[in-house]
Amino acid sequence: MERCCPGERRAIERQATKRKLKSLNATNRSMDNDIEAEHICTRVCGRLLKCGRHTCPELCHKGACGTCKEAIFEEIWCHCERSVLYPPQPCGTKPPVCHFECERPKDCGHPQVPHDCHPDEESCPKCPFLMEKRCVCGKKILKNQPCWLVDTRCGLACGKPLKCGSHSCLKSCHRPGNCEDTVMSCQQPCGKAKRICEHPCMEPCHAPYPCPEKIPCSASVTITCGCGRLRRESSCNAARAVTLKGQLHQPEILPSSMSLNCDDECARLERNRSLASALNITIDKSTTTALNPPSSSVSSSHLPYSVETLDMYVQLSSSSTLSALQSYESTLHDLAVNATQRSVRFQPARAPLRAFIHSLASDWGFTSESFDPEPHRHVSVLKPTRWTAPSFGLGRGSAIGIGGMTVAGCLKFRDRERMKDREAQRSATAETKSWREVTSEPSLNATEGGWAQVASRRRPGADANASPALTRTSTPIPISGSTYSILSPDIGKDGKTSVLVLRSSVGTGKMPHLRNHASLDVDEVVDSWEEEVDKQEAAEQKASRHEHLGERGNASVANPAEGPP
């Protein structure tokens, strides 16, 4: 579009020539500011100004045009027509700033968000109301989605079968027709089992063709020793033979079948397993540590957990959930059982819970340390390289805890043992008190009659040849007290009962009953009833022998002619 007169082109050419000669002739520099007479254009600019209504009235010029100098004599209203600027106003004046609320209706039908009136060039704020919307793939209806959000996504994998027929779309929620094989063919790993080694094929999808298996298999295999303790990772490297134009370019490589040799540690563990089998001890096959220690090793004074751990568990059981405490125990138990795991990190917790984790880890023989400032401070537990299981073992089967006993179970066991100890102590105290009451009573003397009555085997009115026998009588004897009794009181022909009095430290209040009984005849006072009975039996036997000898002597006197046989 031509904006200036025809002389403009010629003036531009002359100025270009001057610039070329400027470097060659320095004396002509004074002519650089000469005015090109033919380049002074007398035409009007005529370009549209920024106001959009008027054109530039100035002569032809370089650069941008100035502002419009016209005036308008119309009222300028805002969009809601509640604010106005009265004429005259410079041309291009924008509508006034309106502080009333915008009243434009929304397409969604929700109430308008409170905001000031604005020109049409500006858009209203997004609708913040929450509603239910179906995701773009159509699988789920999502709740609490902003009204302004057009494409809601559930985040699930598409799952539609691809064109290859072996795989499904793994892209997250997307619009129909935008699966991953829309632009290019499926590039997912094949995943089919190889025939030579049965490892999954990791080459890009080549369906419907079979796996070539020309590249050595890169799958990782584990090589072990005979007992399984030593392990090493290696590549499979299996591949089929490759033949091109009748020539063998790559021989067939079979899967690796090499194994490791057992070392001295394997031999030591095998000896321990043999000894444990001979002694019928349950051990962990991998570490040969006892799993089921004798129950006698657990006592009220020898528990799997420390006193600090048990006391903290009791305190925390009232302020924390039991599931959190049990999760700490199960996490440390898994660390102890897992041979490959070396450390575990707990979630941030309060100071009492961290102290409980430290104490519990110490009981297991682990090393623990706290990291980070509050409120993100947490505990990290490390299992030493040469860690050995506690003396109580690791428990059997699915049992959790040291020796298969949890902290709660240990608390119950300790409470039962303490109850048994208290019961035994109370029984011993009662027996001691009873014995002290008996031994603390004052001794009695014979004149007061303060003696325990014990029946004698001697029967004054009975035949001397009769064998001594311990008998009981149904005659009631008025003696009170459980520690006093009269055994086999023998009542003679004269109606008196012959008894033997045993000297003892019994209360003086018991003998008045015996003293008032008229039929009792106290023969003597002795210190031991058994010794006195033995003496009486020996005397009776001696008297019996004398009587027998006397009868034989009388018979020999009556028949003097008869001699000894």
DSSP 274-320: HHHHHTT--B-TTT--BSS--GGG-BTTB-SS-HHHHHHHHHHTTTS
Name the 3-class secondary structure at 153: coil
Per-residue b/e over 88-127, b at no fewer than 16 CB within 10 Å? eeebeeebeebeeebeeeeeeeeeeeeeebbeeeeeeeeb
Residue 224, Cβ neighbours under 10 Å: how many?
13
Q: For residue 450, what pLDDT is reported? A: 42
Query: Token pair for residue 121?
Result: 């060039």
Q: For residue 564, what pLDDT is reported? A: 41
Q: For residue 38, what pLDDT is reported? A: 53
Cα–Cα distance measured from residue 379 to residue 355, given in angstroms and rounded to the nearest whole number: 9
Q: Of 121, 231, 137, 118, whose CA–CA distance to 178 is shortest?
A: 137
What CATH topology corresponds to 307-419? Answer: Ribosomal Protein S8; Chain: A, domain 1 (3.30.1370)
> Per the confidence metrics, is the pTM higher than 0.75?
no
CB 410 within 8 A of CB 310: yes
Q: For residue 361, what pLDDT is reported? A: 93
CB 51 within 8 A of CB 91: yes
Radius of gyration from C-alpha coordinates of the chain: 59
Q: For residue 5, what pLDDT is reported? A: 65
Q: For residue 14, what pLDDT is reported? A: 76
Cα–Cα distance measured from residue 216 to residue 237, given in angstroms and rounded to the nearest whole number: 4
Q: Of 450, 447, 446, whose CA–CA distance to 505 is shortest?
A: 450
**φ, ψ for residue 251, nearest 5 deg:** -70, 165
Torsion of CA 516, 517, 518, 520, to 10 degrees: -130
* Residue ranges in the chain modelled with pLDDT below 50: 1, 28, 30, 32, 35, 37, 294-296, 443-523, 555-565
| CATH 3.30.1370.50 domain span(s) along the chain | 307-419
Query: Token pair for residue 224?
Result: 């072990």
Q: For residue 528, what pLDDT is reported? A: 57
Per-residue b/e over 230-258, b at no fewer than 16 CB within 10 Å? beeeeebebbbeeeeeeeeeeeebeeeee
What's the Cα-to-Cα distance from 178 to each of 139, 140, 171, 189, rounded to whole Å?
15, 18, 9, 20
Question: Which helix (DSSP H) or strand (DSSP E) does residue 522 occupy?
Answer: strand 520-526
β-pairing, 490-491 vs 378-382, is unpaired
Cα–Cα distance measured from residue 69 to residue 559, given in angstroms and rounded to the nearest whole number: 190
Instruction: Report angle CA 474, 475, 481 to the nearest 5 degrees.
Output: 95
Q: Of 58, 67, 4, whose CA–CA distance to 36 is shortest?
A: 4
Q: For residue 352, what pLDDT is reported? A: 93
Question: Which helix (DSSP H) or strand (DSSP E) does residue 427 occupy?
Answer: helix 407-439
